[in-house]
Amino acid sequence: MSSSSFRLFQFAAPARFYGLAGALIPWCWAAFAVLAAIGLWMGLFVAPTDATQGDAYRIIFIHVPAAWMSMLLYLVMAFWAAIGWAFNARLASMTARAIAPTGAMFTFLALWTGALWGRPTWGTWWVWDARLTSELILLFLYAGFLSLVSAIDDPRRADRAGALLAIVGSINVPIIYFSVKWWNTLHQGATISATAAPKMASTMLTAMLLMTLAFWAYAFAVVFTRARAIVLERDRHAGWAQASARPARSATATGMQT
């Protein structure tokens, strides 16, 4: 094993991960703020008006990145849950738990912005379209994972049960992605494809990619924050965890005295 690989594996220890994540969180928030500001400015003010949809199309700069994130985060969650189950890796299971609420939020955001786009475009807030329905099922899978792991008191058993649900549910992600190809749906096909040129103006594409990167930065910041809280809760009796929590208690006491 190379020295660089060994250094990376060191962060699999909860104590080392806790410190690394804490150092990265401010940078992730800064990246999110900058990328989101530029992406929204380009999407709302620089990108041209669509010839058929007018300015109503601009919601795609939130909707499409949110939909991408909802699917990608589920696969990442299922991956870490499977790693935790297969190798009894506690940090991997805790990471899966930390990802789930953010993935659920992006799924809800994709559904909500899709409804806002569908009202002026399709004339209705909702249709039982293959892609919309499978995206709604994804939200239920996130909710099911969160409910299941919360309902079981023993963390190890909860992690295993959640991993099984996450792995089985991952089959829904390709169904969402390929639904517009497999079935005759109202939802438009892919605008961006790895095998074809983009079907949008370069400013539209740039704004969408910037918003996608902004959402990734947001996801890292929130997941790292939540993972640190889960790690601290699970290892609260360890010496390093008590030492990490002590400065926070001291700061709270100082604030109350002042």
pTM summary value: 0.86
What is the rounded distance in angstroms from the CA atom of residue 235 to the CA atom of residue 231? 6
- Find out whether 169 and 101 touch, Cβ atoms under 8 Å: no
The residues spanned by each domain of the chain are 60-234
Tens of pLDDT, residue by residue over 38-48, are 999 999 999 98
- How far, rounded to the nearest angstrom, does the alpha carbon of residue 146 sit from its chain's CA centroid? 14
258: three-class secondary structure by DSSP: coil
pLDDT bin (cut points 50, 70, 90) of residue 4 is very low
Interval 87-117: pLDDT, tens? 999 999 999 999 999 999 999 999 999 998 8
Residue-level pLDDT at 181? 73
The helix (run of H) or strand (run of E) holding residue 8 is helix 3-10
The SS3 of residue 50 is strand
Asked if 223 contacts 102 with a C-beta cutoff of 8 angstroms, the reply is: yes
**Mean pLDDT, the chain, whole residue set:** 85
Alpha helices in 54-129 (DSSP H): 60-87, 90-122
Report pLDDT digits (tens) over 139-197.
999 999 999 999 999 999 999 999 999 999 999 999 998 876 765 565 555 565 544 44
Percent above pLDDT 70 for the chain: 79
